[in-house]
Structure 1
Amino acid sequence: DLLTLDVDHLVVVTHGFTAGLLVAAWIGMPVASAGHVAFPVPSGSITTLREDGFFHNRAVVTVGDVAHLVGVSGS
């Protein structure tokens, strides 16, 4: 399980609708409800999820950010 790793940063690459399922799991959404929401993200985008080191609250900081692609040919 990725969440049991003792690391400061973790990069997870997803494809298609899987990013939405990852966000749903991150916020603790019940699996039965996850099929009723969407977190659409553009290709090559970055979604930032953060867990507070003290209370272990989970935050969705950015969804589908493409700022790193500005100026890249084709964007």
Structure 2
Amino acid sequence: MAPTRLVAVPVSDSRRENIRDLVEAELIAAGDRLRLTRPRSGEEHVATVSPDGCIVLANRREYLTPSDAARAVTNR
């Protein structure tokens, strides 16, 4: 099994595409981990890209866009 890559997706760029589009373009792959860092609060959230192009959070809930996943972990 190949090692998992950790990919940082800037919020400003992530709103343009959904994760499935990025998987199809081979910019990220299933199994890659995405990280949301909140410097002011010191929080860091890590999610995994699923084979069908969803973002899977630690609680196993799936989201189609980085914005939806970020809202879920930040309660906004």
TM-score w.r.t. the length of structure 2 is: 0.33
TM-score w.r.t. the length of structure 1 is: 0.33
Of the two structures, which has the highest relative contact order with CA contacts closer than 8 Å and spacing of 6 or more?
2
Name whichever structure is richer in strand by fraction: 2
Is the radius of gyration larger for structure 1 or structure 2? 1
